[in-house]
């Protein structure tokens, strides 16, 4: 099925270390694509215009397939590569790190630079923390107003991610079930697993929610509503945050 979960940073942030009077400021941000990562580098270059170097590294994609680094004028292999190696070692993706260096007047040598840039990224990642991103199969469920609040609470308590609630004549809940359990969920309580899927797939999108894998979403809804609600309709997939 491919990647169904990966680790990224919990929030943007920064950390600074000092090595023999040189200052190394590591800025950490979460990004969605290469253009966004490069924009972060340029923004920091303008903000800290008085610094000598703005070395960077980033990893992108659920499988970490996009990886780039830059020494930005430091000796080849002494900045960007060790920064990228820390990201790989921490197994984080969709993240860019930029280490801004103000020279302190003392040459650090190749080994010293490798250690300093790597340590700066470790400090930055420690400062921001991490979270898991989980691929979920989205379902829409339409219920009566009288049932909506109780049902939403019950579903959350059972580990179902409630991604959205739209209130009109009736209430439409958008639910997320982890994709790793989707095969069993689709076939349970819905006949052959395909007959109830009348919604068009909306593709993958990103969002923030908390939820865990449970089996038989349709059966669970039937249990909670006494069979008074229609079966959930699968409408797409999305990546959601799961601390």
Domain ranges (residues) in the chain: 5-128, 132-242
User: Which range is least confidently modeled, 56-60, 64-68, 101-105, 211-215?
Assistant: 211-215
> What confidence score (pLDDT) does residue 149 get?
87
Residue 75 pLDDT level (bands cut at 50, 70, 90)? very high
Structure tokens at 207: 């969002």
Give the pLDDT confidence score for residue 228 in this predicted structure.
Answer: 65
Q: What is the pLDDT of residue 168?
A: 92
Share of the chain above pLDDT 70, in %: 84
Distance in angstroms (rounded) separating the CA atoms of residues 142 and 174 = 9
Q: State the Cα–Cα distance between residues 145 and 168, nearest whole angstrom.
A: 9
Distance CA 45, CA 119 (A): 21
pLDDT at 201 over 50: no
Q: What are the residues whose beta carbons fall under 8 Å from the beta carbon of 65, sequence distance 6 or more? A: none
**So what's the pLDDT on residue 181?**
56
What is the model's pLDDT at position 72? 97
CATH 3.30.230.30, domain 5-128, yes or no: yes
CATH topology of domain 132-242: Alpha-Beta Plaits (3.30.70)
More confident residue, 199 or 48: 48
Please tell me the least confidently modeled range out of 1-10, 192-201, 215-224.
192-201
């Amino acid at each position: 099925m491919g990647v169904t979960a990966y680790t990224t940073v919990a929030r943007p942030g920064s950390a600074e270390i000092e090595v023999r009077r040189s200052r190394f400021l590591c800025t950490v941000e979460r990004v969605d694509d290469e253009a966004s990562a490069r924009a972060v580098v340029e923004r920091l270059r303008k903000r800290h215009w008085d610094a000598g170097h703005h070395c960077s590294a980033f990893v992108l994609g659920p499988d970490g397939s996009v990886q780039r680094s830059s020494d930005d004028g430091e000796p080849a292999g002494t900045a960007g590569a060790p920064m990228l190696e820390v990201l790989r070692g921490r197994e984080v993706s969709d993240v860019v790190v930029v280490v801004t260096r103000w020279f302190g007047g003392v040459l650090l040598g190749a080994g010293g630079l490798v250690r300093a840039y790597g340590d700066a990224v470790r400090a930055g990642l420690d400062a921001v923390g991490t979270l898991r991103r989980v691929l979920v199969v989205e379902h829409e469920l339409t219920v009566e107003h009288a049932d909506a609040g109780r049902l939403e609470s019950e579903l959350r308590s059972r580990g179902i991610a409630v991604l959205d609630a739209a209130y009109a004549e009736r209430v439409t809940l958008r639910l997320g079930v982890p994709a790793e359990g989707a095969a069993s969920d689709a076939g349970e309580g819905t006949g052959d697993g395909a007959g109830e899927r009348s919604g068009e797939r909306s593709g993958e999108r990103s969002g923030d929610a908390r939820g865990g894998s449970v089996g038989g979403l349709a059966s669970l809804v039937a249990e909670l509503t006494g069979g008074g609600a229609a079966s959930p309709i699968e409408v797409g997939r999305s990546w959601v945050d799961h601390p």
